[in-house]
Every structure is written in C-alpha cells, then in structure tokens.
C-alpha cells in the first residue's frame, strides 16, 4: 500500500510501480462504474479523435492523487497536458487508451500510467478495467500480468507472425499506414487492429501477438506498455536502431524483430 510516510524525493522504481498500480486501479474503478452512462463525447485533433467526460474524469482523479502524494513530480497526460515538476520524476498518463472502443462498448481499452526518472522509464502499469487484467513492470524486475511473469511471444518466422498495428486519426497518415499494411500482409500470417496501443504492447509481452508496430503514437500511449514488453524480453525500438518515438514504435521477440523491422525499413514504414 502506498502511504504518505513512504514518499521521498525520488522513490524506488518498485514504489513507483506500486503507486502506478494503485492509480490505474482507482481510475479503472471509476471508468467501470461509468461505462454504461450516457457520457458526453467531444472531438480533438480530427472529427474521429474522440474524448469522453469519463476520460477527463479518470485523468482528473489520477492527477489529483499525484498532486496529493507526489506534488513535486511532473505529469504529462493525454487530456490535461503538462504539469512541470522539480523531483526528477515524470508521469505519463493515458486515462483511457482505446477511447473509440470505450465509446463503442468494446472491452479493449486500458488505463496506462508510467513513471520516468531522469529521462528513463522505470515503472509502468496498464490496466483493463473490464477484464480487470493488470499488467505491470519495474525496470530490471520483469513484467507481470497479475502474479504471472510475462515471457514475450513464441518464436515464429515472419511468414507465421500475427502482427498488431494501429492507425492515427489523420486521413493522409492513415493512407500511408494502409499502404504499409497492404505490402506487409502477404509476407506475414495475419494482422490485428485491436484499438489500444497500450494493450497491444502488453499482448506481445504476454505472447498473445507475435509483434506490433505503429507510427504517430504519443508517449502516454506507449511508455508503460514499452517497459512491460522490454521487461518480458522483447525488442522494443524504432526503425534503423532508433529509440521508440512518435516516428515509430515496433516490438517483437529478438529473432522476429530482425526480420520484421528490416522489412518495415524497406517499406519506409516510418517515413514522415
């Protein structure tokens, strides 16, 4: 249990994971309680990029808890933006990753919370409030769903790989992403578009997908899931040896990563 007495300027990574887990569980309870309400839906960057009052309420809950327990930490959240801090800890918060699924009533969305210390993600939690699955990882301590350790995907060649991906909200970007998928599809076993990047990354960590890639994500979408996948032994990077970024995040087991990331490079999948 996280309590005020444990708060120090820079807590241990495992204490940050514990706090991320408490916050994600609390936000998940709120989301589950309101998922059948007639909630207001607004749009953001494009008419298809939606946000609901439940996203905003869940992020407000997380931020108010952080302000109470960790007032000197920085926060970057999907819906309420940036709060600066002085402690060296920064939180990435996505209150509902997979908002379109949430609006539709599809049970594939999650609260995603990660903590970065001095520029390095050290703690992460991804929580699906409907299935109640809780994925979490601490840097150097492995990744878990519930109490079960995650070991990454099976070892398959490219032609047998089931690969997850996602698409942005901008029509021109979606056209480029569709062209990459069209070229990829004959070379792999199949594609999945499940609708939550955070859960996609956890799915690779749990061996439910063989790989996943997407361009145009924000750090709140991938920070926690990327740590969970890395701690499950996956290769997580951009293309051409870069770090994951808005340009590309790609994840797979090491052998498949060499084949898939090479093919994505050939296809120019991370071209702007």
Interface residues toward ligand IPD, by CB under 6 A: 78, 94, 97-99, 166-168, 195-197, 214, 216-217, 221
CB-closest chain residue to ligand IPD: 166
Name which of 7 and 106 has its Cβ closer to ligand IPD: 106
Nearest approach, Cβ of 122 to ligand IPD (angstroms)? 22
DSSP state of 248: B
> Are the C-beta atoms of 192 and 229 separated by less than 8 Å?
no
- How far is C-alpha 226 from the geometric centre of its chain's CA atoms? 7
Name which of 73 and 200 has its Cβ closer to ligand IPD: 200
Write the CA distances from 137 to 93, 113, 155, 266, integer angstroms: 15, 11, 22, 32
Name which of 100 and 189 has its Cβ closer to ligand IPD: 100
Nearest approach, Cβ of 96 to ligand IPD (angstroms)? 6
What phi-psi label fits residue 269: left (phi over 0), alpha (psi between -120 and 50 degrees) or beta?
Answer: alpha
How far apart are alpha carbons 141 and 168 in whole angstroms?
A: 32
Nearest approach, Cβ of 93 to ligand IPD (angstroms)? 11
Name which of 13 and 127 has its Cβ closer to ligand IPD: 127
Nearest approach, Cβ of 57 to ligand IPD (angstroms)? 15
Nearest approach, Cβ of 248 to ligand IPD (angstroms)? 12
Considering only CA atoms, which of 206, 253, 25, 221 is closest in space to residue 121?
221
Name which of 73 and 97 has its Cβ closer to ligand IPD: 97
C-alpha torsion sign, points 222, 207, 111, 16: negative
């Amino acid at each position: 249990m996280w309590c005020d007495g444990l708060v120090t300027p820079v807590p241990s990574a495992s204490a940050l994971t514990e706090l991320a887990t408490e916050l994600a569980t609390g936000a998940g309870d709120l989301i589950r309680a309101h998922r059948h309400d007639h909630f207001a839906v607004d749009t953001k960057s494009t008419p298809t990029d939606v946000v609901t009052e439940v996203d905003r309420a869940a992020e407000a809950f997380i931020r108010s808890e952080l302000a109470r327990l960790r007032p000197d930490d920085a926060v970057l959240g999907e819906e309420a933006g940036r709060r600066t801090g002085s402690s060296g800890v920064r939180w990435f918060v996505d209150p509902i990753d997979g908002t379109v699924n949430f609006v539709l009533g599809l049970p594939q969305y999650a609260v995603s919370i990660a903590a970065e210390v001095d520029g390095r993600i050290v703690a992460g939690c991804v929580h699906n409030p409907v299935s109640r699955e809780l994925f979490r990882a601490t840097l150097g301590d492995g990744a878990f769903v519930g109490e079960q350790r995650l070991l990454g995907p099976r070892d398959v060649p490219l032609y047998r790989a089931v690969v997850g991906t996602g698409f942005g909200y901008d029509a021109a970007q979606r056209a480029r992403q569709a062209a990459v998928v069209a070229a990829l599809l004959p070379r792999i076993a199949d594609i999945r578009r499940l609708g939550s990047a955070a859960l996609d990354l956890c799915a690779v960590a749990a061996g439910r997908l063989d790989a996943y890639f997407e361009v145009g994500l924000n750090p709140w979408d991938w920070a926690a899931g990327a740590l969970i996948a890395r701690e499950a032994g996956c290769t997580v990077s951009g293309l051409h040896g870069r770090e994951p970024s808005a340009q590309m995040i790609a994840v797979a087991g090491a052998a498949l990563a060499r084949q898939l990331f090479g093919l994505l490079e050939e296809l120019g999948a991370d071209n702007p």
